[in-house]
């Protein structure tokens, strides 16, 4: 049986006794707070709760906001119980927009329904906690990684590898888009031979035409055994990622200097990676191999220029 501490907030007397009896039968431990003031005054006592249960009918909207603010950044599931859904319609919509779960509470409905809802939330919190712990372990393991090799064939594999590699870097959101562009380029342009003009033509017919052509080529004898080879390596300054395809190569220089336009259907990937994502980008082997560098914060010209501007602003003031 899953055990977890609950915090019940703003339940009226007629509900308390029966609900408490049912929760005890459900093997839960719990605390009761009469309102948001009590929650704020006893945060230390409530620090280890797993599920926050709010009785929406008697809890004012401003109290909901205050309680939500206390727990929104913690690993706490939030459940609201509602009896009069018509009277609480606006509040119900509001709390669901905040991401809380809701359970309609009718007097004739067995309270075991509530217990089932709470057990479901507790099990989700347990699963989430395990995922977070595993993620932290993976991050620690990645921090000890000096070199790794990967071989991909499809776009799905390209997206998955971009997400994994970017998560190993200090600012994942900055690098993931650039890695996606370079890995997808290696698959579709390099290994599958879909050039700029053909891709533009396919995209003009819709994304389905482009994806269909890629899937078709992945099964053809000329392309099905080709792989993109990716090497991750730590350097003195940070990390170098090399991506090499098995295609014919291309004249990449014009694309690296290309202006990034939001109106272009394609052709922006290399420029995006060079100008936005990475500290350096260089091609070799007639365009079949691209290597990008990610510098640690003390080396990064992107971060150093930001610091220089911030320092000059502080000095000027």
Question: Do residues 181 and 292 lie in contact, with contact meaning Cβ atoms separated by under 8 Å?
Answer: no
Are residue 253 and residue 214 in the same domain, yes or no?
yes
Q: How far is CA 92 from CA 7, 10, 64, 119, 248, in A?
A: 19, 15, 11, 21, 59
Task: Report the CATH number that the domain containing residue 81 is assigned in CATH.
Answer: 3.40.50.2300
Q: Give strand pairing partners of 6.
A: 30, 51
Q: How far is CA 255 from the centre of its chain?
A: 30
CB under 8 Å to 116, separation ≥6 — which residues?
none
Domain stop point among 137, 153, 184: 137
Give the count of beta carbons closer than 10 Å to the beta carbon of residue 260: 13
Whether residue 312 lies inside any domain: the answer is no
Are residue 166 and residue 116 in the same domain, yes or no?
no
Are residue 130 and residue 152 in the same domain, yes or no?
no
Question: Do residues 70 and 44 lie in contact, with contact meaning Cβ atoms separated by under 8 Å?
Answer: no
How many structural domains is the chain composed of?
2
How many whole angstroms separate alpha carbon 303 and alpha carbon 317? 21
Domain stop point among 137, 162, 193: 137
Whether residue 314 lies inside any domain: the answer is no
Radius of gyration of the chain (CA): 27
Closest CA to 283 of 275, 293, 291: 291
Are residue 99 and residue 153 in the same domain, yes or no?
no
Q: How far is CA 260 from CA 28, 76, 246, in A?
A: 57, 42, 27
- What pLDDT, in 10s, does the model give residues 119-141? 776 676 667 667 777 777 777 77
With vertex at residue 313, the alpha carbon angle to CA 309 and CA 316, rounded to the nearest 5 degrees, is: 135
Whether residue 315 lies inside any domain: the answer is no
CB under 8 Å to 221, separation ≥6 — which residues?
none
Are residue 133 and residue 149 in the same domain, yes or no?
no
Domain holding 234, by residue range, is: 145-307
Q: Are strands 280-284 and 147-152 parallel, antiparallel or unpaired?
A: unpaired
| Eight-class DSSP state of 306 | H
- What pLDDT, in 10s, does the model give residues 177-197? 889 989 998 999 999 999 888
With vertex at residue 63, the alpha carbon angle to CA 111 and CA 12, rounded to the nearest 5 degrees, is: 35
Domain stop point among 103, 137, 171: 137
Whether residue 286 lies inside any domain: the answer is yes
Are residue 158 and residue 294 in the same domain, yes or no?
yes
Are residue 108 and residue 199 in the same domain, yes or no?
no
Question: Do residues 247 and 191 lie in contact, with contact meaning Cβ atoms separated by under 8 Å?
Answer: yes
Q: Transcribe 15-63 into DSSP letters.
A: HHHHHHHHHHHTT-EEEEESSHHHHHHTTTTTTT-SEEEEEGGGS-HHH
Are residue 166 and residue 217 in the same domain, yes or no?
yes
Low-confidence residues in the chain, pLDDT < 50: 1-3, 256, 260-267, 301-317
Whether residue 193 lies inside any domain: the answer is yes
Alpha helices in the chain (DSSP H): 13-25, 36-41, 61-71, 89-97, 112-143, 155-167, 172-185, 196-204, 207-218, 253-256, 269-272, 301-316
Are residue 93 and residue 232 in the same domain, yes or no?
no
Does the predicted model carry a pTM greater than 0.95?
no
How many whole angstroms separate alpha carbon 202 and alpha carbon 191? 17
pLDDT of residue 4: 57
Are residue 210 and residue 262 in the same domain, yes or no?
yes
Whether residue 196 lies inside any domain: the answer is yes
Are residue 98 and residue 231 in the same domain, yes or no?
no
Are residue 218 and residue 278 in the same domain, yes or no?
yes
Q: Are strands 228-234 and 238-244 parallel, antiparallel or unpaired?
A: antiparallel
CA atoms within 13 Å, Cβ hemisphere of 216: 8
């Amino acid at each position: 049986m899953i055990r977890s501490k609950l915090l019940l907030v703003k339940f009226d007397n007629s509900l308390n006794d029966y609900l408490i009896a049912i929760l005890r039968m459900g093997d839960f431990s719990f605390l009761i707070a009469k309102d948001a003031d009590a929650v704020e005054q006893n945060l230390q006592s409530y620090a280890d709760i797993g599920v926050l249960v709010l009785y929406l009918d008697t809890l004012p909207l401003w109290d909901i906001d205050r309680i939500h603010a206390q727990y929104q950044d913690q690993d706490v599931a939030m459940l609201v119980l509602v009896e009069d859904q018509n009277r609480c319609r606006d509040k119900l919509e509001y709390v669901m927009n905040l991401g809380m779960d809701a359970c309609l509470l009718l007097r004739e409905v067995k309270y075991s329904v509530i217990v089932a809802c709470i057990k479901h939330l507790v099990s989700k919190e347990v699963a989430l906690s395990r995922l977070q712990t595993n993620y932290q372990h993976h991050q620690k393991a990645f921090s000890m990684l000096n070199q790794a090799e990967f071989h991909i064939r499809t776009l799905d594999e390209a997206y998955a590898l971009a997400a994994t590699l970017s998560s190993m870097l200090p600012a994942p959101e900055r690098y993931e888009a650039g890695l996606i562009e370079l890995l997808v380029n290696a698959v579709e342009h390099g290994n599958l031979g879909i050039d700029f003009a053909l891709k533009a033509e396919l995209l003009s017919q819709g994304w389905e035409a482009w994806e269909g052509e890629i899937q078709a080529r992945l099964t053809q004898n000329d392309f099905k055994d080709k792989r993109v080879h990716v090497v991750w390596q730590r350097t003195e300054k940070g990390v170098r990622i090399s991506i090499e395809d098995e295609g014919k190569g291309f004249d990449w220089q014009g694309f690296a200097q290309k202006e990034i336009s939001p109106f272009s259907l394609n052709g922006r990937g290399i420029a995006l990676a060079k100008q936005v994502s990475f500290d350096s980008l260089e091609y070799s082997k007639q365009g079949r191999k691209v290597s990008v560098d990610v510098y640690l914060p003390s080396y990064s010209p992107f971060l150093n220029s930001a610091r220089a501007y911030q320092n000059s602003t502080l000095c000027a003031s």
